[in-house]
Chains A and B, each alone.
Chain A
Amino acid sequence: MATSRDDFVIAIRSAFIKKGNKQRFSLIGLILFSIFLIFLSRINFYAINYLKSGLNEVVYRISFIVSLPEKQISNSIIAINNHLNLYDEYNETKEELKILKGKNYNLNYLKSENDRLRRLIDEYIINSDELVAKVLLDKDSPFLKSLIVNKGSKDNLKIGMAVLDGPYLIGKIVEVNYATSRALLISDLNSKIPVILEPGDIQSIMSGTGKNFGKIQHFETEYNFSEKKLVYTSGAGGVFKSGIPIGEYIDNDKIKFFSDLSQLTFVKLVSFEKDEN
């Protein structure tokens, strides 16, 4: 018994503590150093943030280049699927276009009327600054839904800016480096966005699920949804302006996003400010 315990201890010591054959560093030394780095990351140590920012700049660029072949394969698969579904999508789009054309006639009139009425009741009008950025990396891992864009603090990018795909909200900026930034997608488990469901003026919080749909976290009261509901940002919390379209409410508190988050090439980065005039 004692011998087998001795063997176990010797094997463990040899594996972790002894510097291995042709190894420059001891395993235990590097493990302790990793734990030290994690501890410094936890307390947001000044130097670690600089190290991280420097690493980000280099690694994002290399990763962009290294990812090109895989991106090419994934784009090819998507292109083949798109071709297979072309005819059905064409018919759907034709129908949708007919409906949208009808709605568009009223839109401009309603927008100007809305602005006029808002001024009348002294509510602020929101101005926005827009930047277009290229998606460098689209990390669709099961645990983190984020993307890296090629704009950073040198372009006056700030944490919290909204990331849009056309008119649709797809995420927000969570990390800004000098020339690159990371945006957390609305599908990420850690994304929580105050939303409003229209028609009905129902306020709620939408969270990501890690999948291609969102989930309504809770309603303050029970609702019975008999008609189609669209989901917009509510503007609560002051992070985003109200009324940015996100998706459509389907059953079981699920939200189908308007934007396909797996096929982003260029995105708009938008900050909103109150117009004082």
Chain B
Amino acid sequence: MSIESKKTVFFKLLESAPLLLLFVSVLNEFDFNYLNYKYFSFNFPFILIYYWSLKRSESLGYGFIFIAGLFNDVVIGFPIGLSGLTYLIICGFAAYLRNITLHPNLVNDWLFFLFTILVATSINYFLLIIIFKVDVNYYDLTGNIFFTFLLYYIFSFIFEFYYNKVFKRKKND
């Protein structure tokens, strides 16, 4: 394999990193629960899907997001289709924000993220509680939403750095 084609494969891999991270996060469900901090947990797929749908929607792809949702349902034992629906609603909100924004601003994105996860989580747990009669601890749920919202700000800097390094560089090349 020539150096040029090796480089191409490497850049393809870097471009697919958000998608790989999405699948790893739904399969692994990493939320640092094992630290056993009271009420501390966050939903990493929400942050990832929202950020990349906003900045570069083709990085994830709606079809893959839907499949990731199916995987998440299986891993955490939700009814099939529920996480997929939640993830796609987040994509929809992100796409809407992208359409109406001329000058992207992190604080606006961040606040709209709060609104998005409130709506998406409400729909998710409304279906779970009303239709599937599952009990939910509302304190944990509130903690999860709160920390997901807070951590978006931190993760957006990390993702921004990655976006600039990988995708903008590619454009310049």
Give me the interface of A with B, judged by CB distance under 8 Å: 7, 10-12, 14-16, 20-27, 30-31, 33-38, 40-42, 48, 51-52, 55-56, 59-60, 62-63, 66-67, 70, 73-74, 77-78, 137, 139-144, 146, 175, 182, 189-190, 209-210, 262
Contact = CB atoms under 8 A, between A and B. Distances in A.
Contact of B30 (A14, A62, A70, A210): A70
Contacts of A15: 92-93, 95-96, 98-99
Nearest to A41: B79
5 contacts: A23-B61, A26-B62, A41-B82, A42-B132, A140-B33
A42 B28 contact: no
Secondary structure at the B interface, as helix, strand, loop or mixed, is helix
B33 A141 contact: yes
Nearest to A182: B77
B132 to A, nearest CB: 7
Interface of B: 24, 27-31, 33-36, 41, 57-58, 61-63, 66, 69-71, 74-82, 84-85, 88-89, 91-93, 95-96, 98-100, 127, 131-132, 134-137, 140-141, 143-144
B73 to A, nearest CB: 8
Contact of B41 (A27, A67, A73, A141): A141
Nearest to A13: B99
Nearest to B91: A27
Contacts of A37: 80-81, 84
B34 A74 contact: yes
A157 to B, nearest CB: 17
Contacts of A48: 80
A62 B85 CA distance: 22
A59 B27 contact: yes
B41 to A, nearest CB: 5
Contact of B96 (A11, A34, A66, A175): A11
Contacts of B36: 262
A12 B35 CA distance: 40
Contacts, number: 157
Contacts of A30: 62-63, 66, 84, 88
Contacts of B66: 25, 30, 33-34
A52 B74 contact: yes
A187 to B, nearest CB: 11
Given A20-B57, A142-B140, A38 B85 contact: yes
A275 to B, nearest CB: 35
Which 4 A-B pairs give the minimum distances between C-beta atoms? A37-B81, A15-B95, A74-B34, A142-B140
Most buried by A among B75, B85, B136, B137: B75
Nearest to A56: B74
A25 B87 CA distance: 14
Nearest to A54: B74
Contact of B84 (A20, A34, A42): A34
B61 A41 contact: no
A189 B137 contact: yes
Contacts of B74: 52, 55-56, 59-60
Nearest to A139: B76
Given A15-B92, A23-B61, A142 B137 contact: yes
Contacts of A33: 66, 81
A59 B79 contact: no
Contacts of B144: 142
A189 B29 CA distance: 19
B62 A137 contact: no
A29 to B, nearest CB: 9
Contacts of B135: 189-190
A189 B58 contact: no
Contacts of B143: 142
A62 B20 CA distance: 13
Given A143-B140, A209-B137, 13 more contacts: A15-B95, A23-B63, A27-B91, A31-B88, A41-B79, A51-B80, A59-B27, A59-B71, A140-B33, A141-B33, A141-B76, A142-B41, A189-B135
